[in-house]
Amino acid sequence: MVIARKARTAGRGALAVAAGLLLATSALAADPIKIGLVAALSGPSAQSGEAITQGLTIAIDEINAQGGVLGRPLALVKRDDESSPPKGATAARELIYDEKVAAIFGGLDTPVSLAIVPIANKEHVPYMGVWAAGTPITRNGAKENYAFRVSAVDVMVDEALLKYAQKHGAKKPGLILINNPWGESNEKGLREEAQKLGITLAGVEKFEDRDVDVTPQLTRLKNAGADALILVANAAPGAQMMKSRERMGWKVPVISHWGVSGGRFPELAGPTAGDVVFVQTYSFFGDQKPAGKKVLAELAKKYSVKGPEGVISPVGVADAYDAMHLLALAIKKAGSTKGDAIRTALHQIDEYPGLIKTYHKPFSAQNQDALGPDDYIFVRYEGTKIVPVH
């Protein structure tokens, strides 16, 4: 009898331990996979961070509705970089060391991304760029490179900008560039592409992020015979350039990188905002494939967006949406949230039918940029709407 009671007690104890282990395992499996975002969530470029957040959130909600990844839900953890490289670097360290994120998504500003990428490479945490186009972000020379991107790349955008200018009659464009690493990246690319295309540049002028008068620089370009302006700047400084152009009464065409779409450019630039033609990777106008219709429906439901004209910064929404799905696919393929395994799995993705396009082997060890020149379109502001240029 004593032996039987002891056996029953031991059995119950074993069952309790097993049940406890099962509960612990289930709880662990249900722990979210944290995905970090470091972007401008305040200040003049906050619209870009909002757009990226929308794209990521819609994708994450879709993934979680299908059971998450590896049986775990995804959870977005955001940090505001305020467009400041030091703050971006601090935020990235916090996400890596404290939040234990599986990957970090980046925002609008190339200087911030360039501050984060060395940290990501050192700590073996995948970094996914969805807006900043600086060429060295992904082409950074690291032996083990953890920087990936679903976005434009300066060296390719520079070619597209000059070809657009040439196609529309410009023979001697002038460059007006923001004076920071992003501007430097584009100056190098634009000079090289101009030489390849046989284009003579009227000149290269730079201005500061907080300059309120760019008339001297524009005057020099005008006197040098510039018949078009190639603009590289974010919304606030780009708007000041346009105001200076307006004060001069100079009607020269302006062809811009996409920084002007990351903030309140129409409001800040005023009546001439619509004169700027700029590059994007996606438009919600026109006939939409199923993915486009689905994203528009979710934008309406979650953010009260009324049609394509209500989408703030389409590039931020679209790039982030596709990039999140590609990352989730890689985590699933890797069967792990370890950075090394995710990096390898990103290189192994064969095909993904995304919003921007159907991706075929989007990443490789030789090229960690998923989009190319064929994926760029040109658009302009019509009021506050971003509409394609026909």
Residue 375 near residue 357 (C-beta atoms within 8 A): yes
CATH fold, domain 31-152+287-375, is: Rossmann fold (3.40.50)
**pLDDT tens readout for residues 236-277:** 999 999 999 999 999 999 999 988 987 789 999 999 999 999
Mention every residue, 6+ apart, whose C-beta is less than 8 A from residue 362: 150, 326, 349, 352, 370
**pLDDT tens readout for residues 323-334:** 999 999 999 999
pLDDT of residue 33: 98
pLDDT of residue 8: 52
Residue 331 near residue 350 (C-beta atoms within 8 A): no
Q: Which CATH number fits domain 155-280: 3.30.70.270, 1.10.10.10, 3.30.110.30, 3.40.50.2300?
A: 3.40.50.2300
**Location of structure tokens 């662990």:** 28
pLDDT of residue 30: 72
**pLDDT tens readout for residues 205-239:** 999 999 999 999 999 999 999 999 999 999 999 99
**pLDDT tens readout for residues 146-159:** 999 999 999 899 99
The identity of residue 38, as a single letter, is V
Q: Is 3 exposed, middle or buried (0-12, 13-18, 19+ CB in 10 A)?
A: exposed
Pairing of strands 147-149, 127-129: parallel
Domain with CATH 3.40.50.2300 in the chain: 31-152+287-375, 155-280
Reading the block at residue 129, the tokens are 């760029």
Q: CA-to-CA distance for 125 and 93, rounded, in angstroms? A: 11
The identity of residue 43, as a single letter, is G
Region of residue 270 (left: phi > 0; alpha: psi -120 to 50; beta: else): left
Q: CA-to-CA distance for 35 and 103, rounded, in angstroms? A: 5
Whether 22 shows a pLDDT value over 50: the answer reads no
Rounded-to-5 percentages of helix, strand, coil across the chain: 50, 15, 30
Q: How confident is the model at residue 12 (pLDDT cuts 50, 70, 90)?
A: low
Reading the block at residue 145, the tokens are 């490179």
Q: CA-to-CA distance for 229 and 225, rounded, in angstroms? A: 11
> CA-CA distances (angstroms) from residue 133 to 14, 151, 156, 189, 242?
58, 7, 9, 12, 22
Average pLDDT over residues 308-324: 94
**pLDDT tens readout for residues 45-95:** 899 999 999 999 999 999 999 999 999 999 999 999 999 999 999 999 999
Q: How confident is the model at residue 21 (pLDDT cuts 50, 70, 90)?
A: very low
Mention every residue, 6+ apart, whose C-beta is less than 8 A from residue 79: 36, 37, 38, 41, 91, 92, 94, 95
pLDDT of residue 263: 79
Average pLDDT over residues 351-356: 97
Other residues' Cβ atoms within 10 Å of the Cβ of residue 44: 19
Q: Is 104 exposed, middle or buried (0-12, 13-18, 19+ CB in 10 A)?
A: buried
Backbone CA torsion sign across 374, 295, 233, 150: negative
